[in-house]
Chain A
């Protein structure tokens, strides 16, 4: 844990911590160029993550949640991807206009990622020891033996038994869950302030999923690290997150603390999502499809699938974020919550009638890319 102290010293964070979020995304857009019109994967997203806090972004495939998370350190493929507008601040520093070289230091240093599929996320031709060492040596001037020691330490922390004997093993000698642990070790190697975990458990067995979630929560606690957790699984959100943002078609539909959102889901989309959870009545997915990301319709993006849609939903822009009830930062983007309208139309409506007979995991099959 020695390095950890160093890093905290170097960055004069503690004093500013209280009034400044660790990550502040404002009005972020990320588009992908195609032969015809640009695909607007992320279309105006604002979000903050405070130190030590876990924020979850939840949404279906194609909602833009993964792109949004990768846009933070510009990991998406570019070209064709680009950020036409928006700002991303890490510890108060704007990073959208950093050069590649400067950004490189942010990646892995201040902000780390863990991805969805551990199977392919480790380079098959290098030992895991090599891959952890690479991460360490990129951001700190450590000798090979120091790095080795540190790698063993990290692997032990993420729960790899007999870590020192496994350093020279190749990725194919690890199981999926073990690989994900290694990847978490790599992500944590340089003591990041923010960990972005993009569906880190989706590709794993159910039992392993729980272990990994637990591990992440534990590590976050120990290190007081901020975490941005991307998932399509509301159950996982309830388990791990402090706050949640619901994303749909490149926009945020609702955000607030986990309690508020689960207690009083406001946006019709959130409500529909919650209804899809097992044991909540509705069994079908949400009928309808995501709007075309090349030319999204005017008004609310969810209008075509929304049972509460009214004429006002189909004009102008996406409705602004309106307060829901009295909760301090529980907001939603729905016209029914505009001041002067009756939000109970939505809030008091019963469970959605079961829609099309498609299975719930259709949620994950949407038109990706």
Chain B
């Protein structure tokens, strides 16, 4: 068991190392924005382009041999020095620190809710296999997994934002913040709060993460992110539970006189939950990360996905690298946790090999 965990951890570290290396090599191919800038400047100022570029290269350390830069890159990544974002004009690490909370704001509720709801529907569907409800649920799940998040978000914005006017179309990034720019759960603020820029009103309004205005603007992104996730969780949960619905031990439990509810929760769900968790952590995380990236672009939420999107458009290479690496590492850690959890939870697992 101990060795198993150690092996998994080592493997995760190795995979991360490989991924960092690949990223570095790939990013090295991209034309450097600053060099191009310098080149452009030189051309405008009518100085020798060659020397200007060379000087800039030296300044940035790009003239050094490949392996030195590679080593530098690796050490920097581990020391949290993730480079400079020209777009945001601040260190990448600060950009990440500022944007991630926005992603968590809707990502966390979406993950939690979709896991709970998806599992519940999947179990229900499996227990009622071949009934109309089961067919309806599986059929609906097809729509859930097929609908492109970003398009669905747009459709909902058109319907609820543009036509019905129930939710704002633009996303107000200042609402969950206090007047001084720090995060707050709930408080009141006057019209001088940045969220109410160019709005005139008397008295005070709620701001903060739990303020009605913030919750309102979070509903659609959370919902959109959830649809796909619920559908996938549901399908996995159903398939997993079906393995056990007709299992002999379920019949044993039934013959002991266990109630239907206890059969579902104790005898079917418990064994099904173990492989299920494996799937959930890995795949759902991937799904949510991917979904949130696009959703932020659609809704204009200033989270990590939007930052990455803008970095890509503006060729802000350092930021692109980190914003792509970050979800990748989340996925690696997720996979690691999932493997370890699986080993801890399932008494049947044999740790002898691998």
A→B interface (CB under 8 Å): 73, 75, 77, 79-80, 100-101, 104-109, 112-113, 115, 117, 119-126, 134-135, 138-139, 170, 172, 183, 186-187, 189
Contact = CB atoms under 8 A, between A and B. Distances in A.
B258 A117 contact: no
Interface stretch (B117-125, B191-199, B200-208, B266-274): B266-274
Given A123-B271, A124-B271, A124-B348, A138 B258 contact: yes
Interface stretch (B139-147, B247-255, B321-329): B247-255
Nearest to A189: B256
Shortest beta-carbon contacts, A-B, top 5: A108-B257, A120-B248, A113-B255, A107-B257, A108-B256
Nearest to A117: B248
Contacts of B254: 75, 107
Nearest to A123: B249
B131 interface: yes
B132 to A, nearest CB: 11
Given A80-B130, A113-B252, A134-B258, 18 more contacts: A73-B255, A75-B254, A104-B257, A104-B258, A107-B254, A112-B255, A115-B248, A120-B248, A122-B249, A122-B252, A123-B249, A124-B249, A124-B347, A126-B270, A134-B253, A135-B257, A139-B257, A186-B252
A106 B255 CA distance: 9
Given A121-B248, A125-B347, A172-B348, A186 B271 contact: no
Listed residue (B130, B256, B346) with the most chain A CB atoms within 10 angstroms of its CB: B256
Contacts of A187: 255
Contacts of A119: 248
A105 B257 contact: yes
B34 interface: no
Interface of B: 130-131, 246-249, 251-260, 267, 270-271, 274, 346-348
A120 B249 contact: yes
A108 B255 contact: yes
Contacts of A120: 247-249
Nearest to B267: A123
A176 to B, nearest CB: 13
Given A75-B251, A120-B247, A125-B270, A135 B348 contact: no
B256 A134 contact: yes
A121 B246 CA distance: 11
* Chain B CB within 10 A, most for which of A112, A121, A170: A121
Contacts of A139: 257
Contacts of A108: 255-257
A109 B257 CA distance: 8
Contact of B274 (A101, A125, A134): A125
Contacts of B267: 123
A106 B131 CA distance: 27
A75 B271 contact: no
Contacts of B249: 120-124
Given A79-B131, A121-B251, A123-B249, A107 B256 contact: yes
Q: Which of B131, B249, B251, B271 has the most CB of A within 10 A?
A: B249
Contacts of A79: 130-131
Given A112-B255, A138-B257, A125 B247 contact: no
A155 B70 CA distance: 65
A104 B256 CA distance: 8
Contacts of A75: 251, 254-255
Contacts of B253: 123, 134
B347 A172 contact: yes
A115 to B, nearest CB: 6
Nearest to B350: A172
Contacts of A100: 260
A186 to B, nearest CB: 6
A122 to B, nearest CB: 6
A101 B346 CA distance: 32
Contacts of B248: 115, 117, 119-121
Contacts of B257: 104-109, 135, 138-139
A117 B251 CA distance: 11
Contacts of B258: 104, 134, 138
5 contacts: A107-B254, A108-B255, A121-B251, A123-B267, A125-B348
B179 to A, nearest CB: 52
Given A79-B131, A120-B248, A125 B256 contact: no
A115 B256 contact: no
Nearest to A80: B130
Nearest to A196: B255
Nearest to B273: A125
A122 B248 CA distance: 8
B346 A125 contact: yes
A135 B254 CA distance: 10
